[in-house]
Amino acid sequence: MSSPAVPGLRSFPEDHGGRTHYDSPTLTAPADGGTTGTSPQRAAPGGDQGPGTAPASTGRTGGRRARALLTAAVLCAALVLVILISSSLGQFSTSPGQVLDSLRRVALGGADPLADRLDATLWTIRFPRTVLALLVGACLAVAGTVMQGLFANPLAEPSIIGVSAGASVGASLVIVAGAAVTLPWTLPAAAFAGALLVTALVWSLSRTGGRAVVLALVLTGIAINAVAGAATSFLVFLGDTSSREQIIFWQMGTLSNATWQSAGITAAVFLAGLLGCLAIRGKIDVLALGDRSASAMGIPVERLRLLAILLVCVLTGVAVAFAGVISFVGLIVPHTLRLVVGPSQRYLVPLSALGGAVLLGLADIAARTVIPFADLPVGVFTALVGGPLFLVLLRRTLRGSGVQA
């Protein structure tokens, strides 16, 4: 029996091999009839691959690999430019040449970064902020990629399972209690703990018959998000003027408190989460064929789904803990890259890390330059880009489902 349709989520049978997917991988069979693995490609009209499709599949896979390599090269070049531009901007201008010279003197030459005014500014303020921006963007984009693959929907993002809402409750509680002033590390710790607890609650409540149902995860996440939002609003009401301003600014996303310590913790968590996502990316592609087909191929569906949710929670939790709530990065980046390289997680996961870093790096540059001598919330700029794009994606999804938008 098919699940009832939910706006923004395609309805699909829970347990068969013909699961609806916006661009599902399809299986290729060798000459002996055995299954060799997945080859992400679009199904032919009417769902009939027909004879003689193997050469086209091979050519298409090679084309996607070439596009993926080209995209990676472009994103790497853009990342270098973003780092140079971001490090050059501030209350006093610095040329990219001076930035490179400081990197050479301190990183390679072992010079004291505090001995020179320029070096001190770069190494204590600009570099930590730039590095944290890139890492947070990469975390959110990779988490969004895994979520969209897991839910088989291009409109999915980590906030669906309550990660950001839980982090907001934890951070707001610490701010109102005043602990964030005396013990600064309690804020990111409480935000990360809140993200983990709320995600665990969503997972537990969505399980039925010993297994988690995708539709139940979405609906439970919506309900828990509403409750967590109400809790945050209540804490804002209880706080004084200073606490309210701090909570509101944190919820808009900010990188103004970046330090090497926060960047280092984020980097460690990101590397661990990225390795985990790379390890399961092929299995997530197979999961798009349906639970029954994935199980028949020896994939532990329930364990895979739990591991994917845990990785998404950890990546998003650490990003929100140190940078606040930054929306749409996990939605924009994977979908845009999917239009270029196709739906395979093999390419999307590593490319999303690069794309997310570039996007949030650009957003941080805008946040520091649009208004001179002002540091705007970085989440404002990601929302300005992500909001209109989300509407475009929603209309495309509705049209693809046969619903008149």
More confident residue, 9 or 208: 208
Residue 401 reports pLDDT greater than 90: no
Interval 326-372: pLDDT, tens: 989 998 899 889 888 988 999 999 999 999 999 999 999 999 988 88
pLDDT at 400: 67
Residue 39 reports pLDDT greater than 70: no
More confident residue, 385 or 41: 385
pLDDT at 87: 92
Q: Among residues 327, 322, 154, which one has the least CA distance to residue 225?
A: 327
Supply the DSSP symbol for 123.
I
Query: In this structure, are residues 102 and 123 in contact, taking their beta carbons and an 8 Å threshold?
Result: yes
In the structure, what pLDDT confidence band is assigned to residue 193 with cuts at 50, 70 and 90?
very high
pLDDT at 207: 84
Tokens of 308: 């994917």
pTM: 0.81
More confident residue, 403 or 250: 250
pLDDT at 59: 62
Amino acid symbol at 340: V
Which stretch of 3-12, 58-67, 147-156 has the lowest confidence by average pLDDT? 3-12
The full DSSP string for 300-356 is -HHHHHHHHHHHHHHHHHHHHHHH----SHHHHHHHHHHHHH-S-HHHHHHHHHHHH
Domains of the chain are: 133-393 (1.10.3470.10)
Q: Which residues contact 137 (CB under 8 A, 6 or more apart)?
A: 329, 333, 356, 357, 358, 359, 360, 361, 363
Residue 171 reports pLDDT greater than 80: yes
Q: What is the mean pLDDT of residues 51-61?
A: 53
Query: In this structure, are residues 10 and 22 in contact, taking their beta carbons and an 8 Å threshold?
Result: yes
Q: Among residues 28, 48, 37, 15, which one has the least CA distance to residue 290?
A: 15
pLDDT at 82: 96
Residue 3 reports pLDDT greater than 80: no
The angle formed by the CA atoms of residues 31, 42 and 67, to the nearest 5 degrees, is 100
Q: How long a stretch of residues is the chain?
A: 405
Residue 20 reports pLDDT greater than 90: no
pLDDT at 50: 41
Residue 28 reports pLDDT greater than 50: no
Query: In this structure, are residues 158 and 277 in contact, taking their beta carbons and an 8 Å threshold?
Result: no
Q: What share of the chain has pLDDT > 90, as a percent?
A: 44
SS3 sequence, 68-84? HHHHHHHHHHHHHHHHH
